[in-house]
Structure 1
Amino acid sequence: MPNKKKTKIVATLGPATSKREVLKGMMEAGVDVFRINFSHADYEDVKKRVKMIRELSEELQVYTAILADLQGPKLRVGVMSGEVIVAPGDEIVFRTGKPFEGTAEEVYMNYNDFPRDVNPGERILLDDGKLMFEVVETNRKNAVRAKVIQGGPLKSKKGVNLPNTNISLPALTEKDIKDAIFAISQEVDWIALSFVRHSQDLIDLQQIIEKHSKYKIPIIAKIEKPEAVKNIDKIVAYCDGLMVARGDLGVEVPAQEVPLIQKKLVLRAKKARIPVIIATQMMETMITSMVPTRAEVNDVANSVMDGADAVMLSGETSVGNYPIQVIERMTSILKSVESSDLINVPQEPPHVRTKRYITKAVCYHAASMANEIKAKAISTLTNSGYTAFQISAWRPSAHILVFTSNLRILSQLNLLWGVKAFYYDRFVSTDETIEDVNRIACQKGFLDVGDMLISLAAMPIKDKGMVNTLRVTEIETCNL
């Protein structure tokens, strides 16, 4: 029986992962999804990486997913002239318009509507909150005067956060629209949208995908603004997954509030039956060290215990010295905790509300029954991937084996907790199909003689309709 982890690992691409053998080593060590960060992406380089990942997936017979992460409205200051240090009590002018080299007296801001959006008394945070300013006055045109509250070195091109300001900039900037169209042309599996605040942000991205893609590309909403936490119910209704982006979130809201927000968001995602990724600083020390800290090991383990589908690495794999070792270390942490009885995922049955109630109910009972009869696997045939999302969210102790003839969803499903997807295009009688599926599950090492298997199917199979049938089988032979 293979000891396969169920929690997925998302790894960010970067200079440290430009070589084919490094990517291969990472995939063998346990990467399930590669993330392209469009804040730093070069299109030609992205094309090469995507091609390499797809070729390696075929070679290794895995379906590694590709996630395109759009930058969103990232506010930044301009280039500084030399070393600039600001001290508490100093005043500085943030100026928009034509870029210029900044000094301790004035600095360029890349966001033109900044003077119109901010108000006196609001905070301006720079460089992940290391520097803090308070708005004194704005001319509503091109200049904002601010007082330094927390000083230090003011460095070039550092990110700006405005936690108290209602920003008029849309979540999808011109750059994001261009990047999204390019990502769609590369047939990525998921698209993440940064700084989501309202459901409209997601609707806008959906429309771009519908216009430029023949297939549905699921969207992940990155939660990193206080407004997003407040509007979470509406956001969840329009996205296919959540990312708890703790970097910017920990700057926008007091850092001590982030752990409870993380727990709240994971629970909300589970209730909506969509995957949730925990991101930022998970194994930060391993950028330069071979060994993570005890606190980092705990953080990864606790994210799994909260019920995360996936944990994400950023700098650790994009610019770190040990991209393969960090995956190996993370895999060992995931395997050691994910089967714990202490993991508590809400198990309330689905409510009669939608046309898919039957499918939801069958998936819920399959997961419950699998735990009750100690089934080794739940297998399902799917064309849309819907049943995979449903079963995964119930967190059964059994492996979730998904068989599909839809090549587009094979790698998409790789983000979901506990799901293993296989290509299968023989849609014959129910008995024959179930025998086929059992044989493949045995071949891949998920089942053995005497094991219990729960099979879900849509009857009649050739119609590829909604799942409406649950069947329990004891494996009598494993004819390989």
Structure 2
Amino acid sequence: MRRSRHAKIVATIGPATVELDQLRALDLAGADTFRLNFSHGTKDDHARAFTAIRALEREFGRPIGVLQDLQGPKLRIGSLEEGELTLQAGETVRFVLDGARGGKQAIPLPHPEIFVAAYPGQNLLIDDGRVRLSLEKPGDGDMIARVIVGGTIRDQKGVNVPGALLDIYPLTKKDRDDLVFGLELGVDWVALSFVQKPSDLIEARALIGEAAGLVAKIETPMALDHIDDIIKLSDALMVARGDLGVEIPPENVPGRQKELIRACRMAAKPVIVATQMLDSMVAAPTPTRAEASDVATAIYDGADAVMLSAETANGAYPAEAVAMMDRIIRSTEQHRLYRSLIRAAQVDEEITPPHAVAAAGADLAATIEAKAIIGFTASGTTAARISRKRPPIPVLALTPDDIVARRMCLLWGVHSVVASDPSGHEEITRIAAVAAQREGYVRSGDLAVVVFGLPFGQIGATNNVRVAVC
């Protein structure tokens, strides 16, 4: 079940893919980690999908990651008198904090934090920016706004307030309940929506502890302003381009994506590029050429993983979408310019012995044309440090911990296997060689580079490199 590519695929589960046979098809097509989107579906739906994923894991005999994506605070307008309103460019409308069902002079907006943060000239975007307004007269309980770009709005459509630091926490009561449920299931990653500042991650970390990795979803300008600290406090990043592309000018999203991928690579933390990557495959069996180029761009940039959302959750061609993404990744990574672009984006080494040892192992393997780099890791950190180098040689990560093995399903180029730690020096080469041969990376007599830390099992103690003849 080893993949013939480095970048990973995250597939979202939904009504189209909740059953075991459907999930098996996604896995065989190339999905490495499955996303449970708690903005949709019931807990029973997610539990059934999780049980099926773990059954697949036992069937295939390899780790499969599960990412729980929390809904977060959703800003929405309330109910409208006729269920919808058509706003014309140039006209003025009124938003009210309190109101059951309203018209143009009493559009319900039940979010006091928006009224507090609003200022004259503030943009207000409805329905993913399809309708745009400018606030002319903010107030405590009502606001007057002028329509800049008109259109029809409907009940409960989403609202974005670009550039405003809203006094809201990313963990709602629903999120807290869902988080407890997800951790009881045993999810491997938890994605936190609507992160604005580093402190937003602290509460989530306190609730999660070490039970799962923490993914910060980057979808606001404020998060970009504090990105270095957010990366330090998280275990991975998701470039959530849907809301981010509404909150900042669309033309700025590609550059920001490149910056975020580079920053995560420098920190040796995985980064997922998400949203509308093969969106036309929700209804069509093939993507547009622009979508194929979009996926390829993320791969050329060095992203650890790319994600499918509606394509696999409720699309008509879920397995085909995964297979297409797999094909695009493999074709991109085999292109003659790929290695030169990856090398050009090489980040400076972190000046610590563990990072230097892992980097030396990756360089040594390339120099001697080893067939594999084998890393013993207790927490996944050694594998992440090797992956950071983006070596052209496969990385086989051996860990005694099932949870760590599943989390490494997000790491670029890493194939994770559950294996016992060596009891001494004499077992290092034997365990590494047996695992590498079993997984199909080496044959008898091939060279492999083994990276490990002494004493075994101590987190962060990457301090040894060994050349092994398998």
Give the TM-score taking structure 2 as reference length. 0.94
Distance 1:313 1:333 in 2: 13
**1:290 and 2:259 equivalent?**
no
Distance 2:458 2:38 in 1: 40
Provide Cα deviations, 1:59-98, integer angstroms capped at 9, x if missing partner.
1122111111112222011233244211012222222235
In structure 2, what residue type is equivalent to 1:337?
Answer: T
**1:466 and 2:461 equivalent?**
yes
Deviation at residue 237 of structure 1 after TM alignment:
1.3
In structure 2, what residue type is equivalent to 1:49?
Answer: A
User: Which runs of 5 or more residues in structure 2 are unaligned?
Assistant: none
Q: Is the 8 A contact 2:342 2:390 kept in 1?
A: no
Distance 1:313 1:398 in 2: 26
Q: 1:168-247 residue pairs with structure 2 within 5 A?
A: 168-210=167-209, 215-247=210-242
Provide closer, same or farther for how the CA distance between residues 51 and 226 of structure 1 changes in structure 2, counting only shifts above 3 A. Answer: same
Q: What SS does structure 2 have at the residue aligned with 1:67?
A: strand
Provide Cα deviations, 1:326-360, integer angstroms capped at 9, x if missing partner.
001110111111242233254455343xxxx2221
Distance 1:248 1:432 in 2: 50
Distance 2:219 2:293 in 1: 22
User: Which runs of 5 or more residues in structure 1 are unaligned?
Assistant: 476-480
Report the more deviating stretch, 176-185 or 232-241: 176-185
Identical aligned pairs, as a percentage?
A: 37
Q: Is the 8 A contact 2:163 2:221 kept in 1?
A: no
Q: 1:3-402 residue pairs with structure 2 within 5 A?
A: 4-80=4-80, 81-97=82-98, 100-140=100-140, 142-210=141-209, 215-339=210-334, 340-345=338-343, 346-352=345-351, 357-402=352-397
In structure 1, what residue type is equivalent to 2:342?
Answer: N
In structure 2, what residue type is equivalent to 1:362?
Answer: V
Distance 2:463 2:192 in 1: 34
Deviation at residue 218 of structure 1 after TM alignment:
1.4
In structure 2, what residue type is equivalent to 1:335?
Answer: R
**Number of corresponding residues:** 465
Deviation at residue 176 of structure 1 after TM alignment:
2.0
Deviation at residue 285 of structure 1 after TM alignment:
0.5
Q: What SS does structure 2 have at the residue aligned with 1:472?
A: strand
Report the more deviating stretch, 270-279 or 155-164: 155-164
In structure 1, what residue type is equivalent to 2:194?
Answer: F
Distance 2:125 2:54 in 1: 40
Give the TM-score taking structure 1 as reference length. 0.93
In structure 1, what residue type is equivalent to 2:403?
Answer: R
In structure 2, what residue type is equivalent to 1:52?
Answer: A
Q: Is the 8 A contact 1:370 1:397 kept in 2?
A: no
Deviation at residue 157 of structure 1 after TM alignment:
1.5
Show the counterpart of 1:478: none
Report the more deviating stretch, 242-251 or 71-80: 71-80
Provide closer, same or farther for how the CA distance between residues 111 and 176 of structure 1 changes in structure 2, counting only shifts above 3 A. Answer: same
Q: Is the 8 A contact 1:2 1:446 kept in 2?
A: no
In structure 2, what residue type is equivalent to 1:243?
Answer: M
Q: Is the 8 A contact 2:19 2:52 kept in 1?
A: no
The alignment yields a C-alpha RMSD, in angstroms, of 1.9
Q: Is the 8 A contact 2:9 2:30 kept in 1?
A: yes
Distance 1:388 1:329 in 2: 27
Distance 1:180 1:37 in 2: 12
Distance 2:69 2:301 in 1: 24
Q: Is the 8 A contact 1:430 1:461 kept in 2?
A: no
Distance 2:204 2:353 in 1: 30
Provide closer, same or farther for how the CA distance between residues 427 and 287 of structure 1 changes in structure 2, counting only shifts above 3 A. Answer: same
Deviation at residue 473 of structure 1 after TM alignment:
2.1
In structure 1, what residue type is equivalent to 2:370?
Answer: A
